[in-house]
Structure 1
């Protein structure tokens, strides 16, 4: 080999070594979860569709299933999660103090929450908007007609500010009544202590479905805000941020690719689509990048289903909530739900 060729070969080898991808570090949060053998997930104190105990006392809902899915991704066991119900006013403090590892708790992503609380929203998984619910027999069709109304609101939510801003903008007086929990506001509304309940429309639908006479209540058509729900984590752990973010995208990607609980095993065995093979762990690179088992996403879909299956299980037409997907349809169907490329 000539001197020049030898020098070039050495340079190429050095560059190849320099650019060789290095394994992802697990990060302190994932290490702590694995050491304790359990994920700790912050959820709502109780609203149908997102998080509500069933007749056996077991938590059910979309947020609950997303928590279980993280446990499956890490442990391949949906039972390895402890749920911590948190009020709107305590959820971020509990996360920041380390009481929980992650929040899947109907928490709107906002700039100030992202930049001032020492937390990060990892990914958007649900789109909503602020609305109002009133008694159907009041004959109210627009919020502007509620002059002087007493409105139930949940303390520590974006809904407080949204309501105050809107009524101020139309110069209509109202009286807010603040409650710590959704069930308290619902009880006050039904008892006549409030004329209306203001919160995100999906939660209003969940509250109405749990009432003795749902038909007595109307959710007004108007929406007054953007309420994108995000999974929140503490700042400073990039590896945990990556895991929560890309796990959620994988659940969405499974629906985009038509991978379901029923067909995941067959598709893993027979699909020749490179994207599907990556997603289901036939090729291991996605799992390696997150320090997870190659079959982590496959395990999640087999245990809980894809995004659409999870949504339908808790909000679909066969449920009491019966909330149309609207903006939570896939982007290919005119919605906003979109997975970044898993490659």
Structure 2
């Protein structure tokens, strides 16, 4: 009996692993990608009154579904809180997580997630009303600070204040909207989060110019899409979609010229990327021109950045570390060869 029970357990585990190891086929069979995003973060993931989703992380989901189906529309966005996001991915509620999530050792190992790369290089900062007159985080002694639970932000906050021997009052919140309300009502003096999230939150205020983000960046927060352990083909597909967006910008391939370059390029690098040489897409279980479909749908990394969070948007972020390596940033795609 014990042996039979053991064999049955092994069979069930094998069936579970097999199902998880076939994410691409599951997505194709379903006819839809399930993509986990933030519940509400202007510029990154935001649902319009008409139900349409927009944002930097949302566009990555659309790029993925364009790679798989040739269309950016076969995706269901699943809004998740910080507490919900990792279990939702681990338990198969979503196929991929594209939600301002930091790549850490524990999440990679203990939580059994694969981060496919860095889509946004970030760091934790502090926002405070200008009228307070504070210009440095080291002058926040005694301040009440709103911080989101179940995040790396919470640990960073305690580490920074302990290291600098500064006292503060933590006000723990579950989601961004809750932090906004408490901060604007004066129930917390300061709001701490990734600097990009602070800029997005400030952009949603009626009077964003009345708030400042202090100069200190107290952590490294490499944000990127994540998938479950156990499905290398799916991990590769998601990873190389991100690489394709970054490489396309480096090579000057945009949503406007991709069709022309696919037909007329004399560059071997561009030809390989766009599928007119070497048919690399077939190694991922995709069509040879999958990158053409991606760029038609969303444009390259730079186009996605500028459209959603760039200097000419309410969020107003400069490229900074997220510029291409040749421009002094950290963005660098692995070679398509």
**TM-score bin (small chain):** over 0.9
Q: Contact (CA 8 Å) 2:161, 2:167: kept in 1 or not?
A: yes
Structure 1 pair 284/56, CA: closer, same or farther in 2 (3 Å)?
Answer: farther
Give the whole-Å Cα distance in 2 for the aligned partners of 1:293 and 1:158.
Answer: 38
1:252 maps to 246
Paired positions, count: 318
Q: Contact (CA 8 Å) 2:118, 2:224: kept in 1 or not?
A: yes
Give the whole-Å Cα distance in 2 for the aligned partners of 1:179 and 1:80.
Answer: 33
Match of 2:299 among 294, 300, 305: 305
Q: Does 1:37 align with 2:43?
A: no
Match of 1:290 among 278, 281, 284: 284
SS, match of residue 265 in structure 1 = helix
Give the whole-Å Cα distance in 2 for the aligned partners of 1:183 and 1:218.
Answer: 18
Give the whole-Å Cα distance in 2 for the aligned partners of 1:83 and 1:130.
Answer: 26
RMSD: 1.1
Instruction: Give the CA deviation at 1:55.
Output: 4.0
Q: Contact (CA 8 Å) 2:62, 2:297: kept in 1 or not?
A: no
SS, match of residue 120 in structure 1 = strand
Give the whole-Å Cα distance in 2 for the aligned partners of 1:178 and 1:89.
Answer: 13
Q: Contact (CA 8 Å) 2:113, 2:229: kept in 1 or not?
A: yes
Q: Does 1:318 align with 2:322?
A: no
1:102 maps to 96
Give the whole-Å Cα distance in 2 for the aligned partners of 1:28 and 1:302.
Answer: 27
SS, match of residue 164 in structure 1 = helix
Instruction: Give the CA deviation at 1:283.
Output: 2.2
1:10 maps to none
1:167 maps to 161
Aligned 1:78-117 pairs, distance under 5 A: 78-117=72-111
Could you tell which deviates more after superposition, 130-139 or 117-126? Answer: 117-126
SS, match of residue 224 in structure 2 = strand
Q: Contact (CA 8 Å) 2:21, 2:230: kept in 1 or not?
A: no
Match of 1:229 among 223, 227, 231: 223
Q: Which runs of 5+ in 1 are unaligned?
A: 1-25
Instruction: Give the CA deviation at 1:56.
Output: 2.4
Give the whole-Å Cα distance in 1 for the aligned partners of 2:207 and 2:21.
Answer: 49
Structure having the higher Rg: 1
Aligned 1:130-169 pairs, distance under 5 A: 130-169=124-163
Q: Which runs of 5+ in 2 are unaligned?
A: 1-19
2:190 maps to 196
Q: Contact (CA 8 Å) 2:145, 2:168: kept in 1 or not?
A: yes
SS, match of residue 89 in structure 1 = helix
Could you tell which deviates more after superposition, 281-290 or 123-132? Answer: 281-290
Which string of whole-angstrom CA distances, capped at 9 and with x for unpartnered residues, describes residues 129-157 of structure 1? 00000001000011111111110011111
Match of 2:59 among 62, 65, 69: 65
Give the whole-Å Cα distance in 1 for the aligned partners of 2:321 and 2:67.
Answer: 27
Instruction: Give the CA deviation at 1:284.
Output: 4.7
Q: Does 1:240 align with 2:240?
A: no
After the TM superposition, list the runs of 4 or more consecutive aligned residues in structure 1 that deviate by more than 3 angstroms.
Answer: none
2:330 maps to 336
Instruction: Give the CA deviation at 1:27.
Output: 4.8
